[in-house]
């Protein structure tokens, strides 16, 4: 691996760059919160060669949303389910937009 490869990972949202301690610190939460959302299968951190949990920026964004809901009084299991449903809805909306765009490209309406 070259230095350029290493620096390229800095822009990769899926690269597991953060330890559990650092991730908890960045989110202003505890390591037990990160374990709990892992147990709820909201996120599955990758493991280092030594077996330590490692989190990506993408996973931290998901964890931050769950933390926001929990801070508003939502039980952690419900917060995890809400985040999953929000993600599924966003994906469905993205797919619908793609299909709509494809249909419009195939059948352009004529002005006039």
- Give pLDDT, residue 4: 53
Residue 79, number of CB atoms within 10 A of its CB: 23
What is the pTM for the complete model shown?
Answer: 0.76
pLDDT band for position 68 (cuts 50, 70, 90): very high
Structure token pair of residue 97: 């937009």
Asked if residue 14 has pLDDT above 90, the reply is no
The three-state DSSP-derived secondary structure of the chain is: CCHHHHHHHHHCCCCCCEEHHHHHHHHCCCHHHHHHHHHCCCCCCEECCCCCEEECHHHHHHHHHHHHHHHCCCCHHHHHHHHHHHHHHHHHHHHHHHHHHHHHHHCCCCCC
- Give pLDDT, residue 7: 58
Stronger pLDDT, 48 or 63, i.e. the higher one? 63
For the stretch 90-102, pLDDT in tens is 999 999 999 999 9
d(CA 55, CA 75): 23
d(CA 102, CA 107): 9
d(CA 64, CA 105): 38
CATH of domain 12-106: 1.10.1660.10
Arithmetic mean of pLDDT over the chain: 89
Q: Which of 12, 79, 89, 68 is nearest to 41 (CA)?
A: 79
């Amino acid at each position: 691996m070259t230095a350029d490869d290493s620096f390229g990972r800095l822009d990769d949202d899926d690269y597991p760059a953060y330890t559990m301690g650092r991730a908890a610190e960045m989110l202003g939460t505890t390591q037990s919160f990160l374990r709990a959302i892992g147990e709820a299968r909201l996120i599955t951190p990758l493991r280092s060669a030594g077996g330590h949990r490692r989190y990506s920026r993408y996973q931290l964004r998901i964890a931050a949303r769950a933390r926001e809901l929990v801070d508003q009084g939502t039980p952690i299991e419900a917060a995890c389910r809400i985040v999953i449903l929000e993600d599924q809805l966003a994906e469905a909306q993205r797919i619908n937009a793609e299909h709509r765009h494809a249909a419009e490209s195939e059948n352009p309406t004529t002005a006039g």
